[in-house]
Amino acid sequence: MGVSKNSTVAIYGKGGAGKSFLTSMTAKTLTERGFKALQMGCDPKHDSVVTHFGGALIPTVLGTWAQYEKEGRADDLAPEHIIFKGNGVYCIELGGPESARGCGGRGITFGFSLLEKWGLSEWNFDYMLLDFLGDVVCGGFGTPIARSMADKLIIVCSNEGQSMYAANNIASAVRYFAEQGGKTRCLGLVVNKDDGSGKAQAMAGWLGIPVIASMPLIPQDQVMIDGVPHASVRAAVDKVIAAIDDLDAVIPNRVDFVEFMMHLSGNAAEMDGTAVTADELWSLPEVVPKAKKLQRELVLAGIPNGGGLDHRYVESEDDRDRILVPTVVSVGGGNVPAADWG
């Protein structure tokens, strides 16, 4: 059993794959059908639930905790300070650190620790949907898999290479923790922005997981019209809910991503080229005497190592202008453009 008393589903995918919108539409549909659903955004940019709030960003767990901590009243923080309701959906955004000031994965782990302290496993939701960033390998973003907090996992993927790379990484995490005794299993793949190439479907085949649903690339102004999602989105959501309720989740196969990519139609069956040997890599061309003379001149001018010209090939005096050197170097305490040398 995962976090919720009923179905806890982690929805993973590369940034921009469409997982947040799919998660939001799924949560909204479940609510319209009379179920109690919680959607949790697990991405530092905290924009998972904006659809439910007219595009507004709600306060985050980490941001709110930091404010309470700063004011010396962290013990007063409670679930009602970080759970908001929009479109009938209960929503949480874990949030993350400011750019370049902390680790997003550790922030996610800390956020979950707070929620667990508040009795997250006892919250009575029919469905809990965890919307997770999936194009990183950081262990913090694998928290629901590592801790078996999610019963089931869905991967959202396009036919783009980086999206499939992320999908394979996510599946690999599920398999790894399952081998360690973890309980999270993979329900399957949702193909978004499907161009008909079949690449993401092939990835699902290699992983041994089903394709739950497929959505074509939809013009932005047609995704939602007067609050109603596009027909293909509604159809995909219906299939996702049916999969959550009825489909058996599995442990994905191990896939060598390079091998997979090489077997895709249009990619090379085998690499056409010759490997560079160590001798080729380290055998430098002989430096002619004029180059050595130039190097001595640069050393005398105060340039360390003579600009490292022993690693450059100078055939003649004319080649002096083609030497790869910095645009500006420090000589005698002043900046001298390289063009002014000599």
- The neighbour count for residue 225, using CB atoms within 10 Å, is 9
The per-residue pLDDT of the chain, averaged, comes to 81
Active site residue 193: no
The pLDDT value given to residue 209: 98
The pLDDT value given to residue 38: 94
d(Cα 92, Cα 118) in Å, to the nearest integer? 14
pLDDT at 337 over 50: no
- The neighbour count for residue 308, using CB atoms within 10 Å, is 13
Confidence of residue 72 (pLDDT cuts 50, 70, 90): very high
The pLDDT value given to residue 132: 86
The pLDDT value given to residue 99: 72
d(Cα 38, Cα 43) in Å, to the nearest integer? 16
Confidence of residue 262 (pLDDT cuts 50, 70, 90): confident
Could you read off the pLDDT of 184-218 as tens digits, one per residue? 999 999 999 999 999 999 999 999 999 999 999 88
The pLDDT value given to residue 225: 83
pLDDT at 306 over 80: no
Contact (Cβ atoms closer than 8 angstroms) between residue 128 and residue 8: yes
Between residues 223 and 168, the one the model is more confident about: 168
Please identify which of the residues 5, 45, 239, 292 carries the catalytic annotation. Answer: 45
Active site residue 45: yes
> Which value, in Å, is the radius of gyration of the alpha carbons in the chain?
28
Structure tokens at 97: 């650190």
Contact (Cβ atoms closer than 8 angstroms) between residue 79 and residue 91: no
Contact (Cβ atoms closer than 8 angstroms) between residue 309 and residue 323: yes
Please identify which of the residues 19, 28, 152, 193 carries the catalytic annotation. Answer: 19
Highest mean pLDDT among 67-71, 121-125, 139-143, 328-332: 67-71
Active site residue 19: yes
3-state secondary structure of 153: strand
- CATH 3.40.50.300 range(s) for the chain read 7-263
Average pLDDT on 71-83 reads 91
pLDDT at 111 over 50: yes
Confidence of residue 315 (pLDDT cuts 50, 70, 90): very low
Please identify which of the residues 131, 135, 151, 194 carries the catalytic annotation. Answer: 135
Active site residue 5: no
The pLDDT value given to residue 9: 95
Contact (Cβ atoms closer than 8 angstroms) between residue 44 and residue 134: no
Average pLDDT on 79-108 reads 84
Structure tokens at 113: 């620790």
Superfamily of domain 7-263: P-loop containing nucleotide triphosphate hydrolases (3.40.50.300)
